[in-house]
Amino acid sequence: MLTRMKKDFIAAKLQTASQDAAFKNKTAVLDLEQQRQRKIKEEKLQSLAIFQGLMRNIEKEQRDRQERIQELQKCIRNKEESVQKRIDRQRRNQEIAEAAANENKDSSELKMRENLYIQKLWNSFMRKKMEKEMKNSHDIDEAFKAIKTATGVTDVGEMVKKFMSRESTYSQLLGNVSESEKKTEVLKQANDELRNRL
């Protein structure tokens, strides 16, 4: 019985040693598996952290790009508004200059026309006056001849004096008419030039 007990003890000891070795093996396998799982988990966490970092960087880059695009669009709008304002200002200045030029042309043309009409009127008046003076002078001349032939020379100095004053008036009228005609011609030419320019 003691021998059997020894055998059972040895068998139990062997079985315990075997189970202990199996337990150690399983514990080692479990540790390895846990380490592997921990490593996988750490790698996943690192990958997640890297992914989240990348996503944050992408979002930041997109925000920065969007801000740059908005700034560029604002700058383009400002430039377009500035160019449009400059174009409008130039157009207004050109319109004002054209209006002023047209006004000057119109006023100078009106003045030239007025002068032309005045000169025509003056010329007509002077012609009529000259014709009247010529008629009066002719009558006086005929009367002087008739007096001279009929009566002889009586108070010739007086008659010559009157006749000379009439002749002087007549030549003066002729000079005025000639001058008026020259002025009229000059005004006509200036008026024609203005019309051609317009």
How far from chain centre, in Å, is Cα 58?
A: 44
**Confidence band for 132, pLDDT divided at 50, 70 and 90:** confident
pTM: 0.33
* pLDDT higher than 80, residue 92: yes
Cα–Cα distance between 181 and 183 in angstroms, integer?
5
Which tokens belong to 90?
Answer: 């130039």
Higher pLDDT, 3 or 91: 91
Which tokens belong to 2?
Answer: 């003691």
| CB-facing half-sphere around the CA of 157: CA atoms within 13 A | 0
How far from chain centre, in Å, is Cα 39?
A: 72
Cα–Cα distance between 192 and 184 in angstroms, integer?
12
**Confidence band for 1, pLDDT divided at 50, 70 and 90:** low
Question: CB of 123 within 8 A of CB of 181?
Answer: yes
Sign of CA dihedral 92, 96, 101, 103: positive
Cα–Cα distance between 166 and 198 in angstroms, integer?
47
Torsion of CA 34, 40, 44, 50, to 10 degrees: 120
